[in-house]
A and B are shown apart, each in its own frame.
Chain A
Amino acid sequence: MSGLLQRLAPAAGTTPRATLLFVLDGRPCTGLQGDTVLTAVLTQATQLRQSEPSGAARAGFCLMGACQDCWMLTEDGQRLRACSTLLAGGMRLLTGALS
């Protein structure tokens, strides 16, 4: 399944970014150093979370910390605002798509 976001090809002459390993809904995934959690997830998936009232898929909206529609759950029950949190290796994230 392709993601929502499409990465630009890196500009010529730039050093390639380091790869970071994380886990999304139990599957091993890779992102790049400098990715927000939102970018890392939405370049390979189509949702970040499900809305509490209806269970509908959500994938953020404003990308600047205002709309609060990108809070993701981690496997240990913590919440991250995906648009303003940088990806770190070892994160274990849930989109709610499996439940």
Chain B
Amino acid sequence: MSDPIVIVGAGPAGLRAAEQLVRAGQRPVLIDEATRVGGQIYRQPPAALQRSRQALYGFEAGKAGALHDTFAALLPQIDYRPDSLVWQIEANTLHLASVASTGASAVASGGAALTSASAQRFSALILATGATDRVLPFPGWTLPGVFTLGGAQVALKAQACLIGPRVVFAGSGPLLYLVAWQYLQISANQGAQVLAVLDAAPPGAAWRALPQLLARPEVLARGAYYLARLRAAGVPVQHGVRLQRAQGDGRLESLTWQAGRRTVTTACDALAFGHGLRPETQLADLAGCAFDFDPSDQAWLPRRDGAGRSSVAGVYLAGDGAGILGADAAELTGALAALTALDDLRLQPASASASASASASASASTLTRRLTQQLQRHRRFRAGLDQLSPPPDDWAASVPDELIVCRCEEISAGELRACVRDTGTRDINRLKALTRIGMGRCQGRMCAAAASRLLADAAGSTLAQVGRLRGQAPVKPLPIRLLAEALRGTAALPVPADEADD
């Protein structure tokens, strides 16, 4: 039997890809690091904590429900592997670590979070790896009580918790207003308070963005609704804000920020911040995909054609992991990548007669055309969002030397600037080798956007010129015994016993 088509990521893109593959008679392998499907946007709480779809997803309850129901119907026809981390890709093989997400199995295995290694071959690979918050840090951002906007949403959706009783929301992008509104809605009868929304975007940005945002009027209307509700509830919404410092003894107690010439200190218990999203591209990197600099995402993205093909034969890209277009577009690019893979592999619906097969293939190409057309609207809207909430372009020049840029290794902006000054380096991977920036546990997920900007600013070059942090296996921390297990039976040298804890 030939190798299966494998999808990595069970969010909107991965699930819609699986749906198309099943329709064509395939039995795809669906690998997801989470315990339950939905990705971040349609994340489901643990089974013990059931809440209504309306309470969890608000206006998106219909879409979330449709996606979860689609998965339930697909489940008998796919090979679903939850709790599984892909940590390396070599040729046509994925290396997996199964994650014991239930504490019970972790206790049973002596507390180890990752319990076993395996490999999965593929005939085609669809990467739908999603996105996380893009973070441009400020002094004090490592204090307990400071979280990402996405993190604040996870606490609420998946754990029925607020990140604190008195919360400030800051940064830029659609998530800022969405999460602030979600907290506002729930907090009134919980004795909690949304203290302020601090938007980094300059005043008036909304008017300039309006023409392109009208590409998706329903989404624009919802954004306007969130803003109106926040204002009606008396939440101060301030534009042109620069975060100066988070302060507190062992936990966040106050936040100092600046708007124009005004400097304000707000006493608070929690802060959620972020500056839009960043695609999770490390697996595409390990798969050998070529990357191009994308001016819209201000990041290096895996190259893909309009149909979802990467530069590597048999590897396809979908969803926000390939470039930020949002959850609705992710459903479209997921389906599109699957149809493209089927077409490339010359796979037809299994049970079809010659005439039925011809009509299925015709309807697939109609669907492909329709998906491609629908995506245009999302691209135009995205261009509007860039105008609405541009990441602050003076961030790198304005942050102080003592700012911790890398929270894993605690490397400061001053150390990065000194390294550029002393060595003349202009390359982000060289900077990594010299300072350890991006070398810590998160592999640059949290610091790459900031470090690249600081390097470009210090070296007098552009973000495109400083290059991108290369992905390295394992993409997330693994116990060394698991690597040894994965290497067993391969030609690679085992890890020497005296290096086992390195």
Contact = CB atoms under 8 A, between A and B. Distances in A.
B275 to A, nearest CB: 14
A17 B45 CA distance: 13
A85 B106 contact: yes
Contacts of A71: 441, 477
Given A62-B150, A80-B106, A88-B106, A35 B159 contact: yes
A39 B251 contact: no
Contacts of B260: none
A6 interface: yes
Nearest to A75: B111
Given A37-B103, A61-B146, A66 B445 contact: yes
B162 interface: yes
A63 B408 CA distance: 15
A22 B112 CA distance: 17
Given A59-B145, A74-B111, A6 B250 contact: no
B102 A4 contact: no
B355 interface: no
A82 B67 CA distance: 27
B192 A62 contact: no
User: Considering residues A5, A46, A53, which has the most beta carbons from chain B within 10 angstroms of its beta carbon?
Assistant: A5
B260 to A, nearest CB: 29
Interface stretch (B50-58, B204-212, B345-353, B483-491): B50-58
B162 A80 contact: no
Contacts of A43: 161
Contacts of B165: 6
B27 to A, nearest CB: 27
Interface in A51-84: 51, 53-54, 56-69, 71, 74, 76, 78-81, 83-84
A78 B110 contact: yes
A6 B163 CA distance: 6
A61 B33 CA distance: 18
B132 A5 contact: no
B151 A64 contact: yes
Contacts of B440: 68
Contacts of B280: 66
A59 B48 CA distance: 24
B313 interface: no
A8 B479 CA distance: 35
Contacts of B186: 8
Nearest to B476: A68
Given A6-B165, A80-B106, A86-B102, A57 B144 contact: yes
Given A34-B46, A64-B132, A76 B151 contact: no
B339 interface: no
A61 B151 contact: yes
B164 interface: yes
B104 A62 contact: no
A5 B164 contact: yes
Interface in A19-49: 32-37, 39, 43, 46-47
Nearest to B46: A34
Contacts of B159: 5, 34-36, 39
Nearest to A65: B33
A46 B250 contact: yes
Given A64-B154, A76-B111, A79-B113, A33 B48 contact: yes
A53 B410 contact: yes
A9 B190 contact: yes
A54 B404 CA distance: 11
A9 to B, nearest CB: 6
Contacts of A56: 142, 410
B497 interface: no
B408 A18 contact: no
B151 A63 contact: yes
Contacts of A34: 45-49, 159
Given A7-B161, A46-B144, A63-B155, A68 B441 contact: yes
Interface string B138-179: 000011111110110011101111111100000000000000
A14 B151 CA distance: 25
Contacts of B454: none
A11 interface: yes
16 contacts: A8-B190, A14-B51, A34-B45, A60-B151, A61-B146, A67-B445, A68-B477, A78-B113, A79-B479, A80-B103, A83-B154, A85-B101, A85-B106, A88-B102, A90-B107, A91-B111
Given A43-B161, A91-B106, 13 more contacts: A4-B144, A8-B160, A8-B186, A34-B45, A47-B251, A61-B151, A61-B407, A62-B132, A64-B132, A78-B106, A78-B112, A83-B154, A84-B101
